[in-house]
Amino acid sequence: MSMKAQKTRTRVGKYELGKTLGEGSFAKVKIAKNVETGEFVAIKILDRELVLRHKMVEQIKREISTMKLIKHPNVITIFEVMASKTKIYIILELVDGGELFDKIAKDGRLNEGEARSYFQQLINAVDYCHSRGVYHRDLKPENLLLDKSGVLKVSDFGLSTFSQQEDGLLHTACGTPNYVAPEVLNDRGYNGTSSDIWSCGVILFVLMAGYLPFDEPNLMALYRKLCKADFACPSWFSSGAKELLKRILDPDPLKRITIPDILENEWFKKGYKPPYFEEEEFVNVDDVAAAFNDSKENLVTERKEKPVSMNAFELISRSQSFNLDSLFEKEKGLVKRETRFTSKCPANQIISKIEETAKPLGFNVHKKNYKMKLQGDKTGRKGHLSVATEVFEVAPSVHLVELQKTGGDTLEFHKFYKNFSSGLKDIVWKSEENAEESSGP
């Protein structure tokens, strides 16, 4: 039997957990509902044992405490922290306007005015965080979300850290290779401020060009390009944008432009609106300490509850960011970091077809019941694209297949899905209306 669409609900404290929005090495992010207020939030769930084993407790405590103090319109807010015996739960603002990257994937590139507006918001956020001693270290379009009003929100400070070394330099190479500054990769120590500025410059280039300034099939070739800042601006960039990018993407961090200078740049200042917000006088961080101490009195428990009685199609139509239209493939254009399709084939046949299609594309397949993980070949470009798939039974002869990017670059996922979906054509169910459309007049 394949997995039924009805599932037992899980409650953690006053939050009812929903679908997984993303996952990484140390954490998983789920949508959740505050049952007392009805508001939706995002919950980042960390494995407590993993955090202890990697001696990350003090770093994460400091990081969460600092992020709770950061209340900025362009940075995702942390509301509270809880813990159970096995998990740490970080309750975050839910931003449901999608990734900024989705706009690039859909439109190819943004016009210069729109790109500048997002870049201004990004610089505002990064400048404020730097003033509080927080460095992101993994800035890229996928970590830039939009709310329903189109306001930029910087997310995922999971790799941020604090300058504690005696020389004031950071020494951990991390981040996504195409967006990281050359000094991060050469392991001689680097300044978190200037390396974040470099990443902001790469993001600005991607927003206006629709592609990366530094992109090579292997890391050594990419590293050589980064170290020389070997890139060329497209002809449609204005002279002001080209000049600013040249100063941001300077391989020498000591010569690289600073944020105060960016704020005074003529191209940057066009239409600039300084952020307006009021800082809270008092922010309680006692919950952070309580979540990490050994006392059991503050622990919450995960408990299962019976699902609400509803049929599968009701359940699907009520899901966040999902409606019945997408079941029938009406929108063929935009694939984000997740997508789904329906099939009238038996579950085993669907699983076999996915495996058969993924392997020639350079993916290792790990199966567990009706869940599969497709792991990109290590020798592939950027190496570690991973895609989680799951098959649900929504009616006796109808299955819903969900695919979600859980690792790697979104651009890689888009390219993968284009090739992958063409190999699945014979198992995808089209409604009669769409079947008529595809057969032509």
Residues of the binding site for ATP: 44
**Alpha carbon separation from 35 to 92, 123, 223, 226, 303 (Å, rounded):** 15, 36, 49, 49, 14
List, as residue ranges, the binding site.
44
Nearby residues of 377 by Cβ (< 8 Å), 6 or more positions away: 362, 363, 364, 383
Measured distance CA(357)–CA(337) in Å, rounded? 19
Q: How crowded is residue 235: how many other Cβ atoms within 10 Å of its Cβ?
A: 5
Nearby residues of 421 by Cβ (< 8 Å), 6 or more positions away: 341, 428
Q: How crowded is residue 254: how many other Cβ atoms within 10 Å of its Cβ?
A: 8
- Candidates 102, 127, 138, 287; catalytic one: 138
- Verify whether residue 138 is a known catalytic residue: yes
Q: Which positions are annotated as active-site residues? A: 138
